[in-house]
Structure formats: structure tokens, C-alpha cells
Structure 1
């Protein structure tokens, strides 16, 4: 069966390149429904780092501490910013480093280190106070998975199918586990997910593995996607979305695969749903919220897998990774819009367009929620902090109700 054009287009846009391929696509924004927004955003500050012409952003993240925000760029920049609005650029930017190599993963923060991975296969641990390097270690190939930390170990993945556990104090390798890679895959890798006893890894072969935290030995594996079709492109079954553990259940989402709820102790399925996606999803006490490969939003009951709602208004808007904003679902798109959806009904309640100093919207690479604030990182290399508040219309309705006329 041939892959549909919409599936292929979504896959290419997601990563800008398939491994071994490249393509440039001119996008035309789909129409939006009229909306009286209940929320809006006030720009607090905006710092330009450097644009990312190659679009290689899958492993990059916005990391934050109590008073700082850290952002890395594929051009080699890593920047530490003060959260509170400062009057001068030199006060807003606490420090900035640039490395002579592409940063492909991170940053990740623990109590003493800020971790980044590079295209040259180096994992670096920096001092979060000043950006000075604590240590760096050479791994086997390009680092694609954002480093994750648990206890005394930092975990990451490389493009050649290896998982590393390293001592977070000096970078010494504790163990390495290897997996056979397919000939073609989407660009990027989800985070390795460590727990007290097991480390969960998602692979481009559609397989989820549980490895021993101590030794890296395989404990179990479960397949959530089965390759089908004649060509390598049709047979891609990457698991790109970050996995989550909630209330003793492991959740995973595969491209050309399934949404799976898995018993983390033994790898048995709690339930599976026929839905394909590659963006990060979110889980709360009752539901799983995800976007599929065609930008359709779904909510499923997280105990039974029952579909609760389906929303097609974001179709072909190239939706980013999902986030939670208080009791609403926060959705970003390729034209710089932030959308808020009612998580119980799946209806869009608010919309705001993020833009640069010229008023141009740009693809939002990452969004990070912090209370009433939202941090955005876009393809132009702009790092922005917004304060979310009720819109003027919402305030007017609160004061005068619906009978003012």
C-alpha cells in the first residue's frame, strides 16, 4: 500500500529531513475558524539567538530552573536567560556560549550540570551558573536523544542505535546497549526514560525495550508498530514521541504504529489503539491527549483507551509537541500560533499569534509552560517569554456579562 501524500508531507516537515534525504517545501496556511479568544499573551521579553536554517530541532528543548531558562541552538549556541524581565540585554542574558559544532540534543538540567549533545557525538556537561565545561565525553556517533538524568546516571541515545548510561559526575560510561537500526528513519530520537529499576527506550523499529538500570541488560521488549509496504519509506515505524509513565502505566505512540498502554513491569499491553503519531503527547489523571500524523487531535481515556473526542480543526497546520496549560491543552503550529483547547470537549477556546519584531509569525519549535508564563522557541532563533492573561473580551464579559447590549 502506498503512503498517502499527507503522511509523507507530515513526516518530512516534522524533521525537515529523513536520514539520508532532504527537501524544501513551500507551505500555505490553511484557513482558520473565527474565534473570540478568552486568553491572550503579553510579551515580556524576546531574545534572538541564531536562526536554524537546517530545521534540525527534534532533540532540542527549553530547560528551566527556578529563576533561569536555558536554550540550545543547532548553530552551536547555548544561552542562559533570566526569567524575570530585565531592562537590558546584558542583564537578560546571564551567559552565552557557542561551540564549533552543531548542538542536536538538550539542554537537560540536574542539580549541578547542564547537558547537551552534539552532531560530532560529544556529550558535554556544563556549569549552569556560567557555562563553563565540567566534562565532555566522546560517544560512538551523533547524539540525538535529549539527555535524561536519574540518580547518579545520565542517559542518552546516539544515531547508530546505542543507549548510554554515564556517571553524571565525570562522564565515565557505566554501560552501553545496542539495537539494530533500519535503513531509513525519521530524523531524531525520543528521550530515554529511566525509572528506579528499568530504563525504557523507544526505537525506530517500532519496538519499546526495558533495560536494567544497573547493567543495561534487556528485561523485555514490546512491538507497537509492524513494518508494512514495499519501500523503506512505507515501512518506517519510528517511535518518535517521548514516552510517559503515569500511575504505574507506560504510554508510547508510534509513527505508522499505535498508541500503547504497557505494564512497565513485564511489557504486557494494557490496551492499544490504532492511531499513528510522532509528536509528544500529554497525560493527566483521566486522559491521554495526542496529535496524529495528519494533525488531528484526540483524547482517550487513560485506563481503557476509549476515545473521548476527536478534533480536526488543526489538520494540516503541522502541530508541534503538545503541552498542558493549567486545565487546557496548549497546541502550537507552523505559523506561530498558540492555541488553547478545552481538554474535556476538545473545542478551541483561545488563539494568539507569536511573531518577531516585524510582525511575522514563524514555526514554533518548542513551548514550555511555567505557571502563567509560556516560553517559546521558534525557527528564527527567537526565545520569548509571554505572560498569559484573560483577553479584553473575556474581561469585558466578566464585568458586564452577556446582557450589556
Structure 2
């Protein structure tokens, strides 16, 4: 759904593209499926599975946090926080991290699920927290990034970035690369911070706001940055997609393309869902378009993920669409559940973990992956 439609009459929204009949079948195998409560509970929150050392960590809006066996889907441990979880889980430094709508961040032992600490931050967490080298990092909806001690949750640093009057309801998740934190902001800026001290290393505008109204000037970075071989790829809403040097913050290229979902990539191409729900393949070297699929217009697609030779995107009716890597043609679809799939499919070791907004969780693979 285009965020501009969130502010107007729902009847004025463009109708979604009808599903066309597809020939042939993708050799899909569902390894397991389960339910994680009511999922996002029809709220625009950022809940996504995290996979680490043979476990899938997942949370729902009603406060449940679970660790599942990645091979079987069996529950290893589960806890009920009775809080409105709005961001997470993130995994790092032996911790499972979730943020709440009530401006709290909670840390649990990844092995046992026991609560290690909880701390208050400045506002709602609508990003995925992360941790490395003894520091927990979280981005809050008011534009602040907190660096917290992984041992007890105490604040070690804070970076405060002012936000525009009108923004999308979401936040880009911070990414830790070495000793650097990379994060996008609702102002259209991308910043790199020192993980230990929070010192600003560089900051660059991906897109400068333009237009007369606050609505026209929205250039949020809501999708998470993607880092490949020293280059950061990032997209903005009503703005540009860009490639930025990780070391210097120099923009290597940019092109006009509006997106609020984020990017996927394989060894040769970038993939992105734009604000019209067209799926693109982009040359990572210069930003040129390699192909574009327009057949799922207005179907509220997730960001793309790569599984072998296929590109995967979820839609508002719970379908997972399979596109050809080389030209973007539609090859097949399966239905994971009735609720939308707005969370980007997570692919780890040839398995796609799909989390629907209604709490459906499935692990899917294909018979042969090139």
C-alpha cells in the first residue's frame, strides 16, 4: 500500500492487480509451519524473524517471544511479556532484543529465554534492535539512536537526529558493520556512527526534501540499509535509491525510485519493491534498471528476498510470489496464510522463513537450488 493512501479515503486507493493463472509449478517444499499468536495484529509494527545458530526467534504484537528449532519449528522456549511489542526481535551478543510501543527495550538470554534486563528509551521502537561487541543499538521513532551496555542495559551514548513534521510510521533498523553503526533517518539522511562511542563518522543526504507541502516533502528511509563489499545500498520514499561508500559516506550513484520496504540482493543484482508495488532488478555498479515486473501493482508487496534462482515477495492476501532471477517473470505462488505478508522473507542457508502479519510462520525451500 502506498503510504499516501493511509492519509486519504480508502476508496480512492488503486485496486490491486488480479492474480493471473501461471503455468508450471515451483518445486516448493514446506519444511514446517506453525502459528505465533496473532502476529502484528493489523498494526504497522516491525516484527520479523531472526535466525541464529539453529534457532528462529520471533515475537508477536501481544507480547510473546519464542525461540523455535530452525529445522522443525518446535518451540524451544517461549515467554509472555504482556507488553505491546513493536520492534524485533534482534539477536546479538547472546541476547534476544525486543522493543515496545511504551518505549521499553527488553533483553532475554538467547539460550534460555530468561529476562536479562529491561530499560526505558525515549519513544516507541519501530525498528529491529541489534547488538555486537558489548553494545546494544536501537533506533526509536523520534529519531534517536541509543547505544546501551549489553550487560545491564545502561545507556552509554545517544545520537539525536531531528525529524520532520510529517513522517511515515516506521523506522530504519540500525546495521552494525565492524565497529560502525549504519542507520537511515526520516529526513532522508544516512549516518555512520562509532559503535563504542556513538561519535558521528559521516552523514549524507540520500534525498533532499522538495515540494510545497509536508506530504510532498516526505523522504523517509524506512527500509533497512543493505551492505555488500564495502558499499551501502539504501532507498527512500518519494526520493532516490543510492549506493554509498561505507568508509567515506560518498554517494557512488543514485537514481530516482521511491520505496519504503528496503532491498534484497544476490551476488550480481539488487532487488527492490517500489511504492507502486513494481519489483525491480538494479545493477549494483551504476543503478541502471535490468528488469521491472509490473504485474503485482498495488498488492502491498514486501521487500524482495533471494532463494536460489528465485526472487520472493509477499503480498496483502498472504501469497508468496516467485519471480525469475534473470528477467523477473512470474513463475509461481503459494499461500502461507490469509493475512498480509509485509515482513521481508528471511533466507538463511537455502531456507526461506516467512512470517505473516496474522502470526503464520513457515519454513520453505525448493527441491533444487542452483
TM normalised by structure 2 equals 0.91
Q: 1:278 to 1:345 in 2, by over 3 A?
A: same
Which of 12, 17, 27 is equivalent to 1:30?
A: 17
Q: Deviations over 1:263-308 (max 9, x none)?
A: 2222221111111101121123322111110011111211122221
Aligned partners of 2:9 and 2:111: how far apart in 1? 38
> Equivalent residues in 2 for 1:195-206 (5 A)?
195-206=177-188
The residue aligned with 2:354 is 376
Tell whether 2:191 aligns with 1:213.
Answer: no
Aligned partners of 1:68 and 1:362: how far apart in 2? 24
Which of 159, 162, 180 is equivalent to 2:162?
A: 180
Which of 26, 34, 37 is equivalent to 1:50?
A: 37
CA contact (8 A) 2:264 2:305 kept: yes
The residue aligned with 2:115 is 133
Q: Deviations over 1:46-95 (max 9, x none)?
A: 33232257533542110123332211111111122223337xxxxx2222
The residue aligned with 1:351 is 333
SS in 2 for 1:344: coil
Moved more, 330-339 or 373-382: 373-382
Moved more, 228-237 or 159-168: 228-237
CA contact (8 A) 2:90 2:129 kept: yes
CA contact (8 A) 1:40 1:352 kept: no
CA contact (8 A) 1:283 1:302 kept: no
> Equivalent residues in 2 for 1:4-403 (5 A)?
9-11=1-3, 29-52=16-39, 55-85=42-72, 92-355=74-337, 361-366=338-343, 367-389=345-367
Aligned partners of 2:50 and 2:11: how far apart in 1? 29
CA contact (8 A) 1:253 1:278 kept: yes
Q: CA deviation at 1:354?
A: 2.0
Q: 1:104 to 1:12 in 2, by over 3 A?
A: farther
CA contact (8 A) 1:152 1:168 kept: yes
Q: 1:224 to 1:371 in 2, by over 3 A?
A: same
Structure 2 unaligned spans of 5+: none
Structure 1 unaligned spans of 5+: 1-8, 87-91, 356-360, 391-405
Q: 1:26 to 1:273 in 2, by over 3 A?
A: closer
Q: Deviations over 1:346-378 (max 9, x none)?
A: 2122221223xxxxx321133222445332221
Aligned partners of 1:105 and 1:331: how far apart in 2? 21
TM normalised by structure 1 equals 0.83
Max radius of gyration: which structure? 1
Aligned partners of 2:134 and 2:59: how far apart in 1? 23
Q: CA deviation at 1:42?
A: 4.0
Aligned partners of 2:72 and 2:153: how far apart in 1? 35
Q: Deviations over 1:195-239 (max 9, x none)?
A: 234322211011111223332222222112222233322221100
Q: 1:25 to 1:375 in 2, by over 3 A?
A: farther
Aligned partners of 1:192 and 1:53: how far apart in 2? 21
Aligned partners of 2:11 and 2:117: how far apart in 1? 37
CA RMSD of aligned residues (A): 2.5
SS in 2 for 1:231: coil
